[in-house]
Structure 1
Amino acid sequence: MMLGWRARIGQMRPATAIEGAEEWRSVAPVGVAFADARTIVPRVDEEGLKVMMSQVLEASRQLATAKVDLIVQCGAPGTFLRGVGHDEEVCAQIEAETGIPAITMMAAQMDALKALGATSIAVATIYSDEVNEKMGAFMEAKGFKIASMLGLQITDPFDASVHDADSAYRLGKQAFKAAGKCDAILISCGTYRTFPILPYLEMDTGAAVVSSNQATLWRALRAVGLKDQIPNLGKLWYAA
């Protein structure tokens, strides 16, 4: 039987971000397969992310050769740094280049928060304050209230992989406490492993938890028409 007989999803990720691709494969529904393409990110700052985004169309062409049903641009800062509307612009460029529908990680995170009915958000990221400021402005323009925002101040993309799921749990909980009150916790970075801690962070805080890899996998499956509910990956899967 051919791999991906239900859906073939193409994911482009920073070359250092092996964690996100492996998280997806660890919970892949039956009949779903992933094709990978990589981009180089010199630094997680405005100039480095411009370099990443300059490789998006080439990565899309690579994924198109695998006859995927959907192309997913992973690397949320690559789109939010340029403000509202850039997600749609990137997707349109990918679709024009390949004829294949596309989504972005940042838009998937926003869709996930909306699906949960969350408006007040505690945000935890690996990013610097400079990048977080841009992210906060983007989210506020989308109608969300930033209840708190904490970042690990990482600019070397490889360093993000050193921080494992326990770090994501602690940072998410710190952001929740700093917020005082919020509807949801957003943990943003596709290199940040979060799948093992999602149900525990929700249980220990009472808030819904959205993470980059969780939200983007959810959005990708829904985009190709699959309604799988993956257990132990948070309330999101049962919201929509």
Structure 2
Amino acid sequence: MWQPDGWDVRVRLGVLTPHADVGPESELRAMAPADVGVHAARVPFRAMGRGGTMDPTIPLAPVRAFAEPPHVDDAAELLAAAPVSVIAYAFTSSAYVIGPRGEGYMLDRLHERTHGLPVVATCAATAEALRALDAGRIALVDPPWFDETLSDLGRGYYEDAGFEVPYAAPCGLPSGQTLIGPRALHDWVASHVPDTADAVVIGGNGFRAVGAIAALEATLGRPVLTANQTLLWAALRAAATPTTPVTAYGRLFSAP
């Protein structure tokens, strides 16, 4: 008689996302089982305009500012007042700019503002996922709106975190969130990443990527990690409440 209404979940995830970006919520909800709720708070990001418009490449100044007080801190505190189990920071590029240590400081700061609620971040989650998969050499593919400088900072992030990065580059597809689909991403990645990498990392929480994970793993024979996939994996681990297993979105969710 009664229809599902979204209330009967075991875990609720709070997500911090750029104000005009629907990518993180879209992908997290696609992957999350029915007993996991996803609830987002918007954080101002000066590189995005109305309707999610962006320049062909994003400048570094607003990327860095996104991770700084007061806006993201205030959003985290407000979101933590809701009945959520964990806060997930859905933004890749700021970690590239501030590095693993800076990302760690940011997480500590947000943890204080959430009054002890667990907080996970995309790049730290990806590094932990790579360790869980025993992948020491990675090919890093970034969105086309990341320029070479930002992509090089991404290479530096993972090298500082202890990984070898034999390949790092922006994806050579049209620069626009709505212009890239799973098939195009699969074909481009499959034809460009080197065989020397143990795993492929696709950066960018606003980059439409989770739909290509299974196909890429079948084609490449290696784990494929994307920003929102690793963020969900880390958030569910931090929530520490059993849920229905995540399926069809990569080897990561079967890792020990």
Please confirm whether the aligned pair reaches a TM-score higher than 0.5, indicating the same fold: yes
Structure 1 residue runs of 5 or longer lacking an equivalent are none
State which of 207, 213, 228 in structure 2 corresponds to 1:198. 213
In 2, the alpha carbon distance for the partners of 1:41 and 1:79 equals: 15
8 A contact 1:19–1:161 mirrored in 2: no
State which of 88, 91, 107 in structure 2 corresponds to 1:72. 88
8 A contact 1:10–1:34 mirrored in 2: yes
Residues 75 and 161 of structure 1, relative CA distance in 2, 3 Å threshold = farther
Larger Rg: 2
SS in 1 for 2:98: coil
Partner of 2:44: 40
Partner of 1:121: 138
In 1, the alpha carbon distance for the partners of 2:124 and 2:188 equals: 22
Residues 5 and 192 of structure 1, relative CA distance in 2, 3 Å threshold = same
Compute the displacement of 1:201 (Å): 0.4
State which of 91, 96, 103 in structure 1 corresponds to 2:107. 91
Q: Is 1:162 equivalent to 2:166 in the alignment?
A: no
Question: If the length of structure 2 is used for normalisation, what is the TM-score?
Answer: 0.84
Partner AA of 2:165 in structure 1: I
8 A contact 2:63–2:94 mirrored in 1: yes
Partner of 2:251: 235
Partner AA of 2:152 in structure 1: E
Partner of 1:217: 232
Residues 4 and 120 of structure 1, relative CA distance in 2, 3 Å threshold = farther
Question: If the length of structure 1 is used for normalisation, what is the TM-score?
Answer: 0.90
- Report the more deviating stretch, 104-113 or 220-229: 220-229
> 1:88-144: per-residue Cα shift (whole Å, max 9, x none)?
211111111121220111111111111111011111111211101111111111111
> 1:189-239: per-residue Cα shift (whole Å, max 9, x none)?
111122221111011111110001111111111111145431111111111
Partner of 1:50: 64
Identity score, percent: 22
Runs of 4+ with deviation above 6 angstroms: none
Partner AA of 2:207 in structure 1: Y
Partner AA of 1:102 in structure 2: V
8 A contact 2:96–2:157 mirrored in 1: yes
Partner of 2:50: none
Residues 171 and 113 of structure 1, relative CA distance in 2, 3 Å threshold = farther
Compute the displacement of 1:34 (Å): 1.4
Residues 92 and 161 of structure 1, relative CA distance in 2, 3 Å threshold = farther
In 1, the alpha carbon distance for the partners of 2:27 and 2:85 equals: 20
In 1, the alpha carbon distance for the partners of 2:72 and 2:103 equals: 12
Residues 208 and 14 of structure 1, relative CA distance in 2, 3 Å threshold = same
State which of 184, 190, 193 in structure 2 corresponds to 1:173. 190
8 A contact 1:19–1:193 mirrored in 2: yes
Residues 62 and 4 of structure 1, relative CA distance in 2, 3 Å threshold = farther
In 2, the alpha carbon distance for the partners of 1:174 and 1:20 equals: 26
State which of 222, 243, 246 in structure 2 corresponds to 1:207. 222
- Report the more deviating stretch, 107-116 or 60-69: 60-69
